[in-house]
């Protein structure tokens, strides 16, 4: 990773690919900035057919960032806890001209879903963070629609 960074500009965020316990790429460990379109693609399980056009974010589980850029962004936003903090951080970095890349070397096995004992608590936090993200970055109609989906399908 250090050698990879030496070849990059200092304004780059690097994520090391995350794998599940079976060695498969984790589904939500990198991607394009969330939009209503991509949210629907993934919820309809069409993500394997349509690939995200670019990498806008990498998972906080393997996110590496130069200290100068981290400080310039004042770290992670306190608006998010456990979910979407990495997406928000990468989006803010890109607004400053930074790039986000996936490392071509190495990978981590990530024991996803271990932060909560209760799946319902995990989902509640995830959807709350997703709502905050959509309110912060997406058009109002997308934010309202996402909140409606959360309520109809998850009661959140």
pLDDT in tens, 33-88: 999 988 888 777 666 666 777 899 999 988 999 889 999 999 999 999 889 999 99
Give the 3-state secondary structure of residue 138: coil
Which pLDDT value is given to residue 47? Answer: 63
Please say whether the beta carbons of 88 and 80 come within 8 A: yes
pTM for the complete prediction? 0.89
Q: What is the mean pLDDT of the chain?
A: 87
How are beta strands 57-58 and 30-31 bridged, if at all? antiparallel
Query: Alpha-carbon distance 117 to 113, whole Å?
Result: 9
23-27, 71-75, 120-124: which is most confident: 71-75
Which pLDDT value is given to residue 15? Answer: 92
Query: Alpha-carbon distance 138 to 110, whole Å?
Result: 29
How are beta strands 108-109 and 99-102 bridged, if at all? unpaired
pLDDT band with cut points at 50, 70 and 90 for residue 128: very high
């Amino acid at each position: 990773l250090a050698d990879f960074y030496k070849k990059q500009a200092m304004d780059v965020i690097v994520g090391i690919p995350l794998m599940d316990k079976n060695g498969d790429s984790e589904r939500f460990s990198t991607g394009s900035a969330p939009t209503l379109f991509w949210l629907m693609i993934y919820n309809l399980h069409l993500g394997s057919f349509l690939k995200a056009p670019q990498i806008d974010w990498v998972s906080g589980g393997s996110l590496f960032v130069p200290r100068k850029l981290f400080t310039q962004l004042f770290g992670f936003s306190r608006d998010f806890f456990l979910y979407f903090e990495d997406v928000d951080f990468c989006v803010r970095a890109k607004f400053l001209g930074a790039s986000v890349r996936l490392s071509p070397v190495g990978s981590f096995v990530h024991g996803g879903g271990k932060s909560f004992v209760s799946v319902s608590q995990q989902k509640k936090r995830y959807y709350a963070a997703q709502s905050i993200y959509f309110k912060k970055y997406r058009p109002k109609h997308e934010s309202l629609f996402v909140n409606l989906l959360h309520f109809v399908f998850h009661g959140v």
